[in-house]
Amino acid sequence: MADKVALNRQLLDTITSMEVEVPFISLSISLFIYSPMQGLVDSRFRMVYSLKEANGPFFFAELIPTFCSDAQTTIREMTLALEQPVVNYHEMEELCMKIKGGTSCIGAHQIALACGDLRHAIDDRSKERCTVAVDAIRHEFLKLHSKMAIVLQLTTGISFDALRFGHAEESHF
C-alpha cells in the first residue's frame, strides 16, 4: 500500500511539472511568446486522467499510447505532404484539425497552440511557414512524449497495484 501512495505522489508531481513547464518561445513565424505559466498540458489532462474512475483503471494507460501513435502518424503525414512539389493545403488543413482535435481532447496545450500557428500558415498558403509550424508541433510532441512515458509507467504501476491488492484506486487529484 505504501508503494501505491508513493506512486500516486510521483504521478501527481510528474503531471504538475508538465503543467508548469519552463517558458517556451515559439519558433514559428507568428513570433508569439507563450506565457510562463502555460505548460505542456492544461487542466484537461487531469480531467482525462480522472475519467479512469468511470472507465476502469487502465483507461488512461490505454489512451496515452493511442494518442501518441495517432499524433506521430499525423505529424509524419504532414511532413510527407510538405515534401511534395505542390502542397495540398486542403490535406494539410484536415491533418491540422485532426492533430489539434486530439491534442485539445487530451489537454496537450503547447501542441494545440502550435497547431494554431500551422492553421495560419495554411490559410496564408505558405509552405515555408507550414514547415516551421510542423517542426514546432514535432518539437512540442517530443517534449510531451517523454513526459507521457513517465506518466504511463506510473499509471500502469498504480493500476496493477490496485488490481493486485483488490483496493479501489484513489486518484488524489
pLDDT digits (tens, 9 = 90+) for 102-116: 998 898 999 999 999
pLDDT of residue 21: 47
CATH topology of domain 59-167: Four Helix Bundle (Hemerythrin (Met), subunit A) (1.20.120)
Q: What is the mean pLDDT of the chain?
A: 80
The pLDDT confidence band at residue 1, using thresholds 50, 70 and 90, is: low
pLDDT of residue 171: 43
Q: Taking 60 as the threshold, does the pLDDT of residue 101 lie above it? A: yes
Cell numbers found for residue 131? 514547415
Number of helical (H) and strand (E) elements in the chain, helices listed first: 7, 0
12 CB contacts (<8 Å, ≥6 apart)? 172, 173
Segment 86-96, tens digit of pLDDT: 999 999 999 99
Closest-CA residue to 31 (of 125, 121, 152) = 121
CA dihedral 138, 143, 149, 151 (to 10 degrees): -130
Q: Give me the count of residues in the chain.
A: 173
- Asked whether the beta carbons of 71 and 144 are under 8 A apart, the reply is no
Cell numbers found for residue 137? 508541433
133 CB contacts (<8 Å, ≥6 apart)? 28, 29, 114, 115, 117, 118, 120, 121
pLDDT of residue 20: 46
pLDDT of residue 149: 86
Instruction: Decide: helix, strand or coil at residue 41.
Output: coil
For the full predicted model, state whether its pTM sits above 0.85. Answer: no
The pLDDT confidence band at residue 83, using thresholds 50, 70 and 90, is: very high
pLDDT of residue 2: 57
Segment 2-34, tens digit of pLDDT: 576 776 777 777 777 776 444 444 333 333 333
The pLDDT confidence band at residue 75, using thresholds 50, 70 and 90, is: very high
Higher pLDDT, 79 or 41: 79
